[in-house]
Amino acid sequence: MIKESISGIRAYEHDFTEELISKYIESFRCILDPCKVIIGRDSRKSGIKISKIVKKYLASQGVHVLDAGICPTPTIEFLTKELGYDGGIVITASHNPLPWNGLKFINADGTFLNKAQMEKLLKLKRTIEIKREGTKSAEIIEDNKIRRRHVEYILELKPIDIELIRKKNFRVVIDAVNGACSETAPELLTEIGCDTIEINCDPTKPFPRNPEPLVENLKELSEKVKESNADIGFAIDPDGDRLAVVSNEGLPIGEEYTVVMGIELILSKCSDNSKKNVVVNLSTTQLADIVVKKYNGNIFRSSVGEINVVELMKKVNAIIGGEGNGGIIYPECHYGRDSLVGIVLILQMLAERNINISEYVNSLPKFYMIKDKIKIKNKDLQNVHKKLENVKNLLKPDSIDFTDGIKLLWKNYWLHIRPSNTEPIIRIYSEADNMGFARELVEKIKDLLKNE
């Protein structure tokens, strides 16, 4: 199985043949015409083989390669721009379980290829011919310590007071699911003075559970936080762009709060007359709107997908953004979702306010989000649109947004139906101040789509 989307390429490892990989890389090369490329990978064993194929092909075409080894996606994004590389490639299937792997492609500015670029790449791949080895192979440099540059930069970010965080001596449990952040995240936490307890931080081992950092997958982390009397628990996905939090009470609070806490800290640092623009995607919690309004800021919503958020952030000159799946985008570091940046922003907020996670969560209005999905043969949402027209009068939304699938909005709740960028499914999200009502909204749409 092979899944091609704006987010990159994902496939079962046995479908990633050398010929197919080479076609993707040659298509990437045709778009960016790079002289030098940095690559990294998550901890999947199949990444070793894929990495060798990528390096070999690029070097054979005269492209200088820096191989950062096992390295978080946000680190490769940061390093691509910071070191002046012409592009980057990350070998990862993100939160997909084994036996998936994949390819993510990065521009010279450290951002993912946009929709137009990815469409061009995929079109080229269908007809492109793999080039034979050139007359002179370029150099391949391996440096698995280069990721340190990213950590050093994070520690120098303006909102971060390292000494203040160190004085708090937070006890932190970190669960990196044996992924790309297994070494980097504990190193960062130790450097900022945390009493760090590691679970699943061995990149030589397989994922111990479903690697997506959803509430239902964080039982071990929750138990460890309670057992250790820790202040907070962090869970990171395999390639390090998503961050979920477990409270001091051992309760997973959900990924949605990650970006909310990041927004809270950054807006609190702004002067009253400064421009406080924030961008999140259409599926992100309405708590983001509440926090932005608290600081008299402006919130903008994009289609789901990191590059969509990033492009809108650049357009409106946003000071922070992200996605409700645990992805904070802070442009003072780089334009990409970054779990490591998320960790320090959250700890900074807790240290400044002398509060714990539970106190912060309890200070906000309570909303319940349901995230569900359904497999559907026809992913053309036009048919879904027609079905929804029949129930629009029944649901009576205050407004409808067709930017990314269909989003129905009311004063205090919403429902979002859209095709996944990474899986052959329709995602159905709802949020309301009543769990039963949020679930009821989702079930109505699921029944509707099943009868499609």
Read off the pLDDT of each residue in 362-367 and give the average, rounded to a whole number.
97
Report whether pLDDT(249) > 80. yes
What pTM value is reported for the model? 0.95
Instruction: Spell out the CATH class of 256-362.
Output: alpha beta
Cα–Cα distance for residue pair 335/330, rounded to 1 Å: 7
Q: Which two tokens stand for residue 399?
A: 């407004």
* Highest mean pLDDT out of 83-87, 411-415, 448-452: 83-87
Give CATH for domain 2-146.
Answer: 3.40.120.10
Reported confidence tier of residue 135, pLDDT bands at 50, 70, 90:
low
Q: What is the pLDDT of residue 350?
A: 99
Cα–Cα distance for residue pair 444/430, rounded to 1 Å: 11
Read off the pLDDT of each residue in 131-141 and give the average, rounded to a whole number.
84
Domain 368-450: give its CATH architecture.
2-Layer Sandwich (3.30)
Give CATH for domain 150-246.
Answer: 3.40.120.10
Report whether pLDDT(203) > 80. yes
Q: Give me the helices (H) in 354-434, please.
A: 357-362, 381-395
Read off the pLDDT of each residue in 217-241 and give the average, rounded to a whole number.
98
Report whether pLDDT(426) > 90. no
Q: What is the pLDDT of residue 218?
A: 98
Read off the pLDDT of each residue in 273-299 and give the average, rounded to a whole number.
97
Q: What is the pLDDT of residue 449?
A: 77
Reported confidence tier of residue 152, pLDDT bands at 50, 70, 90:
very high
**CATH 3.40.120.10 domain span(s) along the chain:** 2-146, 150-246, 256-362
Cα–Cα distance for residue pair 282/35, rounded to 1 Å: 37
Number of C-alpha atoms within 13 angstroms, CB side, residue 279? 24
Catalytic residues: 94
Smallest CA-to-CA distance from 442 within 420, 411, 414, 421 is with: 414
